Every structure is written in C-alpha cells, then in structure tokens.
Structure 1
C-alpha cells in the first residue's frame, strides 16, 4: 500500500528492504514505547524512503532509533528546547533543520507535526502519515 501510494506521486523515490520484526521490537524497546501502526506497516514494506532529491521522506528504523535517542538525551538540546520525549521524529525537512514527528501524547494520535529548530514551535502539518507523504510529494507541506 505505501509503495503504491508513493509511486502514484513519484517514480524517483528509493525504497529499502522491509525492516524485520526483531529490528522494530528493538527500536520500540530502546525508545520505551510502541511505534504508530501506520509507521510499522510502512517500515514493513520498506525500511525508510528517500525522495527524488535525496532527502528522508521517512527515516529507516535505525535512523528513527538513533535520531530520537539523540534528540531526547543530548545535553545541549535539553538546555535549549522543551523535552522531545513526547515526539517521535520520522523525517527531516530538506535543508533547514526542521523535523517531522508524531506526537506520542495522547497515545494513538495519528497527526504529523513539524518541529521548528529556530523557535522550538511544534505545529500540526498533516492529519496522518498518508496525508503527510502525499503533501510532501505534491509540495503542499507548509513549514
């Protein structure tokens, strides 16, 4: 489903082999929470997606793990920004340092937010992962 959705909008996306259930379990265990169902399904089809310009449309499981752990534990970030413990970063904005994330609270919320690294603002940009992907690929994400 996810590959087909992406391929409807671009033929230039790069896909990876599906992530293993064991790798997903390790990510969830290390982060201390479950991953959203639609993200798990996407990673089950492709372990991350690179767009036509070489940017992460969706991080791989390893990028999810490493990036989120860094954002949550890096001392300089803790001094500069509100806590990132309630966010799950899944993608980066091309060239500007902003990141896209699920809000983990309340649990099960499907919205995708953009985190602005300049202001620490967190704003909803899409009501679901599917809408986020379509909006990114059609140029309708508002940063």
Structure 2
C-alpha cells in the first residue's frame, strides 16, 4: 500500500496555528544540498522543504532548519576536529532542527530509518524522540515548551 502524501503546512498548522513558514525551496536547491552533503535528504524532509524552507515553532525556535542550515550544520558536525575530540561520531546522523538551547534533532542515516533522535549537547546522549518527521512535528509543536523531549 502506498504511503499517502502529507501536506506539511496543513499538518503543522493543525498542531500549532502560529507556526512560521518560509518560501519553499526549488528542487535544484535540494539537489545541490544533497551533492554537498554526499547523501540524499530523507524523503519526508525533502517534501517539507519543497513546501517551506524550514519551520519556526514556539518562541521562534527553528523546529526544522532551512536547507542551507541543514547543509552547514551537518558538514560542521561531521568534520569539526573539536567535536571529534569531545563527542562520539556524528556521521550516522543527519541533523535538521534544534530546541533553541543547544540540543539538536536528527534522522539516523546509517542504517537509514525514519525515526528522529535528539542529541543532547551537554551529555552527548542520543536517544529516540519520535517515529518520523510527522510525529516529531506533532510532539515538538504541541504546548509544553522547547524541552518537550526530556524525560
């Protein structure tokens, strides 16, 4: 059975009517981002970016980053020598958003799966927080603050 296409803006507005949206990216921008990253963006993330180049949530937190930030942040996480000395490797993750306080959200790319994990910068812990991008947006944009994922 084919997965139904999600209308990302509508889905976000149902959970958080005040969400911020940007102009959509062009397909060529996604191709260029994937070239720079050396890997494809997850399908759901690609589709969301084609509707809005990122999503701003509560307190204007970049719940989903713009495509340029996705590229720049991941290239930095994957190659920064200081990070390599402080943290476990990040090469299995593709970061796409944050909580506004330093914790980052990512898809696991090796092995590729739709689940979303949080990387907590103070402890270098990585743990599951959502089944997929749709679930992540629902959880992160509901009332409860920017630390919704904390136990």
- What secondary structure, in the 3-state scheme, does the structure 2 residue paired with 1:110 have? strand
* Partner residue, 1:64: 70
Q: Following the alignment from structure 1 to structure 2, what is the Cα–Cα distance between the partners of residues 66 and 139?
A: 30
* In the alignment, structure 1 residue 88 sits paired with structure 2 residue 94: yes
1:38–1:129 CA contact under 8 A, matched in 2 = yes
* Partner residue, 2:28: 22
- What secondary structure, in the 3-state scheme, does the structure 2 residue paired with 1:114 have? strand
Aligned CA distance change for structure 1 residues 81 and 38 (closer, same or farther; 3 Å): same
Q: Following the alignment from structure 1 to structure 2, what is the Cα–Cα distance between the partners of residues 125 and 115?
A: 10
Any unmatched runs of 5+ in structure 1?
A: none
> Segments of 4+ in structure 1 off by > 4 A?
none
Residue 116 of structure 1, CA deviation: 1.0
CA deviation map 1:53-112 (0-9, x unaligned): 1110101100100111111111111110111111000111132x11000000112x0000
The alignment of Structure 1 onto Structure 2 pairs a total of residues equal to: 141
TM-score in terms of structure 1 length? 0.94
- What secondary structure, in the 3-state scheme, does the structure 2 residue paired with 1:11 have? coil
* Partner residue, 2:116: 112
